[in-house]
Amino acid sequence: MRDIFTDLFASERPDPVEAARRAMRPPLPRRFYQQAGVDEAEGGYRVVLDGRPVRTPARGFLIAPSRRLGEAIAAEWDAQGETIDPATMPLTRLANSIIDGVAATPEPVAADVEKYLGSDLLFYRAEGPQRLVERQGRLWDPVLAWAREALGARFVLAQGVVHAAQPEGAIAAARAAFPGDPWRLGAVHVITTLTGSALLALALLRGHLTAGEAWTAAHVDEDWNMEQWGRDEIALARRAARRAELDAAATVLALL
């Protein structure tokens, strides 16, 4: 099992482009277990395959902090068919990343999320056409209003791509809302990088937005362009894979 875990997940990328290249990879390993489940263990709930503990690529145990989350991860293993395909296991991949990376060094992860507060997607508005401007305002303005009221963070807006420096006080106020535990922080980081918005991630963390609402808000411009120029099937396939990653992060937040 050690080689399988290392080979499958250590090289797995969250980039959805990888999913399109699976046909060029060596054959996936065959399923070697009958049933996945969870056992109570020190630190939480350990995912097991036929009673044997699953390990992360760094050789830690795959232990979730709550039973519901552990069962959701185990369900990904149970859902595998004759072979084991990491591309269909976004929750397991996220858990591996949190256990092996975020838990040991949370500061760089939080710093990376904080960078987005200086140039968040929601700050930069289109100059036109008017319908796009209105759509951005309809989906983004309520999140900015929530940030002002709930976080005490008042940000500056700009049109086009010219950088707008954000008040240090606003960044500090939003930064104070970052979760301290590695599981929530790892989920917030994933949502931030997928959406381009730390504010959308924080709104999802605090329950102000659903995963679907955050996803829609993050894709205003992309949806507008597809409406004008037609659907891009390759882009949509990548987008579906990214949505699975966001849903996995939202699941972590919901089940803790």
Q: What's residue 111's pLDDT? A: 98
Q: What's residue 8's pLDDT? A: 60
Q: How far apart are CA 158 and CA 200, in angstroms?
A: 18
Report the percent of the chain where pLDDT is more than 90. 83
Output DSSP code: residue 55.
Answer: B
Give the lowest-confidence range in 16-25, 137-146, 179-188, 205-214: 16-25
What are the strands, taking DSSP E only, across the chain?
36-41, 44-49, 52-53, 63-64, 124-125, 158-159
Output DSSP code: residue 105.
Answer: -
Cis peptide before 129 (omega within 30 of 0): yes
Q: What's residue 2's pLDDT? A: 46
Mean pLDDT, range 54-62, rounded to an integer? 96
Quickly state the pLDDT bin for 217 (edges 50, 70, 90). Answer: very high
CA distances from 224 to 193, 210, 217, 240 (A): 21, 21, 12, 17
Quickly state the pLDDT bin for 160 (edges 50, 70, 90). Answer: confident
Looking at the DSSP assignment, which residues form a beta bridge with residue 44?
41
- On average, the pLDDT of the chain sits at 92
Taking 80 as the threshold, does the pLDDT of residue 228 lie above it? yes
Taking 70 as the threshold, does the pLDDT of residue 236 lie above it? yes
Mean pLDDT, range 176-188, rounded to an integer? 98
pLDDT digits (tens, 9 = 90+) for 33-51: 999 999 999 999 999 999 9
Quickly state the pLDDT bin for 5 (edges 50, 70, 90). Answer: low
Taking 60 as the threshold, does the pLDDT of residue 13 lie above it? no
In the chain, where the domains are located: 2-85, 106-255
Quickly state the pLDDT bin for 233 (edges 50, 70, 90). Answer: confident
pLDDT digits (tens, 9 = 90+) for 149-158: 999 999 999 9
Considering the four listed CATH numbers 1.10.3580.10, 3.40.50.80, 3.20.20.370, 3.40.50.300, the one that applies to the domain covering 106-255 is: 1.10.3580.10
Residue 119 exposed, middle or buried by CB count within 10 Å (0-12, 13-18, 19+): middle
Mean pLDDT, range 214-237, rounded to an integer? 91
Q: How do 63-64 and 158-159 pair as beta strands?
A: unpaired
Contact between 26 and 54 under an 8 Å Cβ cutoff? The reply is no
Taking 60 as the threshold, does the pLDDT of residue 238 lie above it? yes
Higher pLDDT pick, 74 / 7 = 74
Helix or strand or coil: residue 122?
helix
Contact between 33 and 50 under an 8 Å Cβ cutoff? The reply is yes
Mean pLDDT, range 218-233, rounded to an integer? 90
CATH architecture of 2-85: 2-Layer Sandwich (3.30)
Quickly state the pLDDT bin for 27 (edges 50, 70, 90). Answer: confident
Q: What are the DSSP calls for 184-215, one per residue? A: HHHHHHHHHHHHT-HHHHHHHHTTSS-HHHHH
Mean pLDDT, range 182-205, rounded to an integer? 98
10 Å Cβ neighbour count for 26?
Answer: 6
